[in-house]
Structure 1
Amino acid sequence: MTAMRRSTVGTAARGGRVTVSTVAAAAGVSTATVSRVMNGSTTVAPDMVQRVRAAAAELGYRPNAAAQGLARGRTGTLSVLVPDLANPYFHDVLKGVTAAAGRSGYRMLVADSEEDPDDELGLSHELLRQTDGLILCSPRMPRHDLLTLADDSHAVVCANRLAADIDLPAVTIDAHAGMTSLCHHLARLGHRRVVYLSGPERSWSNQERRHALDRAAAFGLDAVAVACGATMADGHAAIDAALDHDPTAIVAFNDIVAFGALARLRERGVDVPAQVSIAGFDDIPFAAYAAPAITTVRNPKELLGRRSWLLLARALAGERGLEPEVLPPQLIVRDSTAAARDRGNL
């Protein structure tokens, strides 16, 4: 037996591939015993555990993580589905998920639905087949698809969407409060006619902001929604229709849309903020460096990612009926908003 172990170590030292069988031969145990030791089983005698680990260390053996996951019934991987990876907003959310999940030994798989709500359910099922759990980031899918997903898996968390009467844990940012604070800011500056460049129709955040706008008349705002979208090109394309309403202020669905809107306003010779104020949402890093710097509503993106992972971890541990968590936004006032001009001067 001793000769066999020396021979095995010598082969490994000469560059041979080290496998479970190699470690088993060196330690004088079965391959099943090596597998149990590497998977953390408590059914192996301590002296055998010591022999296996010593042989593995001497041979430089590293167990296959995927194989270990299959043996435990877990992959050690979570998935995140986002609607648009080109949007820097989601980069910060993913950063938060990665940091929090990494501390628990999890890796992350990311997929992009490319703003196609009808593709999200199929992508979700595919991701759940490959990973232990799924974080749906700002999902656009119809309600009946969310119901299907909730029935199919308890390992799903919604980040930034609340779905009443659907058993899906959720962490959201208070989009209604964010829009209300922005409307108060514009009203204090004397604005009355405001155009909202509306986001994707099935976006929960967009719906919440529109609900807040509907209530803005209570403090003097006449708000009009113009169909737009979530991209820079959408913002650029929507400005001509927005200006037809003679607004003194324009609120964009997100900062990316605000960038596109600023470009078109510049092309039309409209001074921001002297003639029209503009504001966005999310406070992506570039917003502070635009010309002018964009007034926006800061959403705690990394915190959203971290809290989503913690909620998913609880779901993976078997907890059910988890209460939703709502995170507060923060109004960030910069140079793109100013006192309202007299209407009719564009």
Structure 2
Amino acid sequence: MTRRPGRTRPSSGATISDVAEAAGVSRATVSRVMNGRPTVSPDIAERVRQVVAELGYNPSRVAQSLSLGKTSTVGVIVPDLGNPTFQQILHGVNQAAALADYRVLVADSAESAKDEPALLEEVRRRTDAVIVCSPRMRAEELEALLPRVQPAVLVNREEALPATRVVVDYAAGIAAMCRHLIRLGHRRILHLDGPVGSNAQAARLRGLTLIADENPDVEVLRMPCGSSMDAGFEAYPAARDSGATAVIGFNDLVALGLLGAARDDGIRVPEDLSVAGFDDIPYSRFSSPPLTTMSVALESVGEAAWRALEDRLQNVVDADLRVFTPALVQRGSVGLAP
């Protein structure tokens, strides 16, 4: 026969055994009540909840996840957490996931394609599903890995892979920027390339090739660079010596680094040299001059990635591709060709 619980004193260190003893039930019954299982009679469930409140018991999230077979956590893997582009995407994921009572576990692959597979599998073991943002690994390797880490959503991989994809149309975006520069009279345009193996870089290359084919009188040049502000700063001497009248950075960070180096060199932007970026990160509005760029709704990309993952978690069949098209933002760093 169960006994009636006596008065209890709140304790931040209360355990499930303490609750069970005070409520006169088994630990399994306490677990079922805490996990919302309907198999416990209402009067017993109410008694357990009262004791939980009196003791100040906080159930272990890990224990609950083992009991329910879910963690209510999703993983997000990014190549560079220091890049504001990925910070904004992550913010969109986190805000949307929080509304569904999910937490987000973040992992940074540090631009290492060889480390991504092990990192992805480790994150997936700790979470219910994963969002892989701009993975650097080869398509063949990613395709072989995906069946082991489902449910999964890919951000910025355009290949037909066995996962829902959310992509930014970088090819269309870079082509739109080039056409804008051509309308302003620029006939020698330099693109500072991003990381080797980046899907976004491969897409930009397609856009640059299209522009070169459309405009045989325009020189479209490319130069290895990277994705950081330091990379843009260091690329400046070679960019200046290329003879280009307009330079497009792989992203806004690269363009901002180039702007800083040009200013130090006494080059007037845009009178002597036009400089453009890509992504429209918050810093781009506050440079001197403000940066012309291609705007991508990055937080919306993150939110769309979460919505796609939520569909997968609920076994909802939906479109396997969501596309975002960048829009031109005209500011003071681009002008007429000198």
TM-score, length-scaled by structure 2? 0.95
**Residue in structure 1 matched with residue 144 of structure 2 by the alignment:** 148
Matched, 1:91 2:87: yes
Distance 1:150 1:320, change over 3 A: farther
Name the aligned partner's letter for residue 144 of structure 1: E
Matched, 1:200 2:195: yes
Single out whichever of 278-287 and 267-276 deviates more from structure 2: 267-276
Gaps of 5+ in 2: none
**Residue in structure 1 matched with residue 52 of structure 2 by the alignment:** 56
Provide the alpha-carbon RMSD of the alignment: 1.7
Gaps of 5+ in 1: 342-346
**Residue in structure 2 matched with residue 69 of structure 1 by the alignment:** 65
Matched, 1:163 2:151: no
CA distance in 2, matches of 1:238, 1:274: 20
**Residue in structure 2 matched with residue 102 of structure 1 by the alignment:** 98
- Secondary structure at the aligned position of 1:215 is classed as helix
Cα shift at 1:245: 2.3
**Residue in structure 2 matched with residue 283 of structure 1 by the alignment:** 280
Distance 1:335 1:16, change over 3 A: closer
Match of 1:317 among 314, 318, 323: 314
**Residue in structure 1 matched with residue 185 of structure 2 by the alignment:** 190
Cα shift at 1:2: 8.7
**Residue in structure 2 matched with residue 225 of structure 1 by the alignment:** 222
Match of 1:212 among 207, 210, 213: 207
- Secondary structure at the aligned position of 1:172 is classed as strand
CA distance in 2, matches of 1:45, 1:294: 64
Match of 1:44 among 36, 40, 43: 40
Cα shift at 1:206: 1.2
Name the aligned partner's letter for residue 314 of structure 1: D
Deviations along 1:251-296, one digit per CA (max 9) or x if unpaired, are 0000000111112222333221111101000111110110111000
**Residue in structure 1 matched with residue 327 of structure 2 by the alignment:** 330
CA distance in 2, matches of 1:214, 1:163: 19
Equivalent pair of 2:132/2:154 in contact (CA under 8 Å): yes
CA distance in 2, matches of 1:2, 1:128: 43
Deviations along 1:71-94, one digit per CA (max 9) or x if unpaired, are 111111111111111111111111
Cα shift at 1:243: 2.6
- Secondary structure at the aligned position of 1:49 is classed as helix
CA distance in 1, matches of 2:244, 2:266: 15
**Residue in structure 1 matched with residue 291 of structure 2 by the alignment:** 294
**Residue in structure 2 matched with residue 260 of structure 1 by the alignment:** 257
Name the aligned partner's letter for residue 192 of structure 1: R
CA distance in 1, matches of 2:144, 2:2: 59
Name the aligned partner's letter for residue 167 of structure 1: P
- Secondary structure at the aligned position of 1:5 is classed as coil
Equivalent pair of 2:76/2:130 in contact (CA under 8 Å): yes
Cα shift at 1:17: 2.9
Single out whichever of 284-293 and 112-121 deviates more from structure 2: 112-121
Name the aligned partner's letter for residue 132 of structure 2: L
Cα shift at 1:3: 7.1
Cα shift at 1:34: 0.7
Deviations along 1:27-61, one digit per CA (max 9) or x if unpaired, are 22111111011111122222222221122122222
**Residue in structure 2 matched with residue 344 of structure 1 by the alignment:** none
Name the aligned partner's letter for residue 327 of structure 1: F
Name the aligned partner's letter for residue 307 of structure 1: A
CA distance in 1, matches of 2:326, 2:92: 16
CA distance in 1, matches of 2:312, 2:2: 49
CA distance in 2, matches of 1:17, 1:310: 38
Residues matched between the structures, number: 336
CA distance in 2, matches of 1:16, 1:86: 37
**Residue in structure 1 matched with residue 134 of structure 2 by the alignment:** 138
CA distance in 1, matches of 2:298, 2:244: 30
- Secondary structure at the aligned position of 1:331 is classed as strand
CA distance in 2, matches of 1:222, 1:168: 38
Cα shift at 1:321: 7.1
CA distance in 2, matches of 1:29, 1:257: 63
CA distance in 2, matches of 1:264, 1:121: 37
Q: Displaced runs of 4+ in structure 1, greater than 6 A? A: 1-4
CA distance in 1, matches of 2:122, 2:18: 36
Cα shift at 1:322: 4.5
Equivalent pair of 1:167/1:321 in contact (CA under 8 Å): no
Equivalent pair of 1:216/1:222 in contact (CA under 8 Å): no
Name the aligned partner's letter for residue 118 of structure 2: G
Identity of aligned residues (%): 42
